[in-house]
Amino acid sequence: MKVLVIGNGGREHALCWKLAQSPRVTKIFAAPGNPGTALCAENVSIAPDDIAGLKAFAAARQIDLTIVGPEVPLTLGIVDEFEKAGLKIFGPSKRAAELEGSKIFCKGLLVRNDIPTARYKRFDDAGLAAFYLAEASPPFVIKADGLAAGKGVFICANGDEAHEAIDAIMNKMVFGGAGRRIIIEELLEGREASFLAITDGKSVIPLAPAEDHKRIYDNDTGPNTGGMGAYSPTPAVTPELEREIMQTIMIPAVRAMAAEGRPYKGVLYAGLMITPDGRPKVLEFNCRFGDPETQPILTRLDSDLFELLMAAAEGRLEDIRLSWNAKSSVCVVMASGGYPDNYEKGKAISGLDEAAELQDVVVFHAGTAMENGLVVTSGGRVLGVTALGDGIQDAINRAYEAVEKIYWDGVYYRTDIGRKAL
């Protein structure tokens, strides 16, 4: 079977790495891929949002299954275009991907179907949003409605911070068109968890729960990022809580999307807050694999990833049972200095081979490129150093042992990934 993986980040490297372990997969293409995917796939120079180019490539190479990594091509309707051409593809349709493409749509679906979430108000006028702040009590969470690469969320302790957030999103348009509308919602207290499931529109199969670290600095301080590290499993999600999440959130969401004429197939990724009373509430839904959660989740998956995703694409998930490695996995993101704001590119990376030689360690490439035979930095989040261990502490130790072997000018990483699990 020939597989096409769309995207060029750490998530896509992890997908290619895991797919390459399937005895049914004979060839993997990554579009456009990165130096990491080149180790287990053939990179092709097609951008993730070049839907016509991707469709033509899949047809010409007789690709058996296409897997979409990032959210942008999904919200642009790549699944619809592939299916019209008779090409198998894993991911939600354009109308279903609005679950991530519009936070206003997502919140409306949650409220209409009594799926637990924070109270909120929506605004398409900055003046009305500011007027609302004068009558409401902080703290506030302010979110751009559209896609903002995981950075469109502002946690505001007071009115001044909230006004600055509204000005940045709606007036200065720091996220472009994604900020034409916003939501202001209550701040939920508790512990965050990432809960991913695979669905064919009818059956819903949970993946191992994980926990992400969104803030740039240790102890969860500083601005939000796309994610600075993750680990799986997380003690925040017990087996009993997993069953509750499935029954009160994941299955009702899939059924609600079908009832609204937007059948959902693909990955359904719920960002959750486990509140102090132990109840889960939805912070957001994403319509694709999380990054960096995918890295620790897939290193723990013993089952064949290709079989799982093909079964979802073909509508036969009821036949699938997953098997998991009992070990824990930790992913530490190594980033460019200055991320998530301005950072330099083109810094030569050393120590990759030494880190990869360590037992139970995989270095997933995210923002990397090849220049003159050298691997160099080309993005904010550069590498996802991922390690398996006998428990979280052992996995943490192995991951940071590998991290310490890798260097480039200006490298930055958090030193407390996984500590919350202890």
User: pTM of the full predicted structure?
Assistant: 0.95
SS3 content of the chain, % helix, strand, coil (to 5): 30, 30, 40
What pLDDT, in 10s, does the model give residues 26-77? 999 999 999 999 999 999 999 999 999 999 999 999 999 999 999 999 999 9
CA dist., res. 101 & res. 75, Å (int): 6
Neighbours of 87 (CB within 10 A): 19
The CATH number that domain 125-180 falls under is 3.30.1490.20
Domain range summary for the chain, segments of one domain joined by +: 2-93, 125-180, 191-319, 328-421
Q: How confident is the model at residue 149 (pLDDT cuts 50, 70, 90)?
A: confident
**Higher-confidence residue: 224 or 117?**
117
Query: What's the pLDDT at 148?
Result: 87
CATH 3.40.50.1970 is held by the domain 191-319? no
pLDDT in tens, 380-394: 999 999 999 999 999
Q: Would you state the pLDDT for residue 13? A: 98
Architecture of domain 328-421: Alpha-Beta Complex (3.90)
Helix (H, G, I), strand (E, B) or coil at 266: strand
pLDDT of residue 223: 87
Beta strands per DSSP E along 238-327? 266-274, 280-286
- Structure confidence at residue 196 (pLDDT): 98
pLDDT tens-digit profile of 278-306? 999 999 999 999 999 999 999 999 999 99
Q: Pick 2-93's CATH classification: 3.60.15.10, 3.40.50.980, 3.40.50.20, 3.30.1490.190.
A: 3.40.50.20
Whether 150 has a pLDDT exceeding 80, the answer reads no
Where does 15-169 show beta strands of DSSP type E?
Answer: 27-32, 42-43, 65-68, 89-90, 120-123, 140-144, 153-156
Q: How confident is the model at residue 110 (pLDDT cuts 50, 70, 90)?
A: very high
Helices 126-135, 159-166: axis angle to 10 degrees equals 170
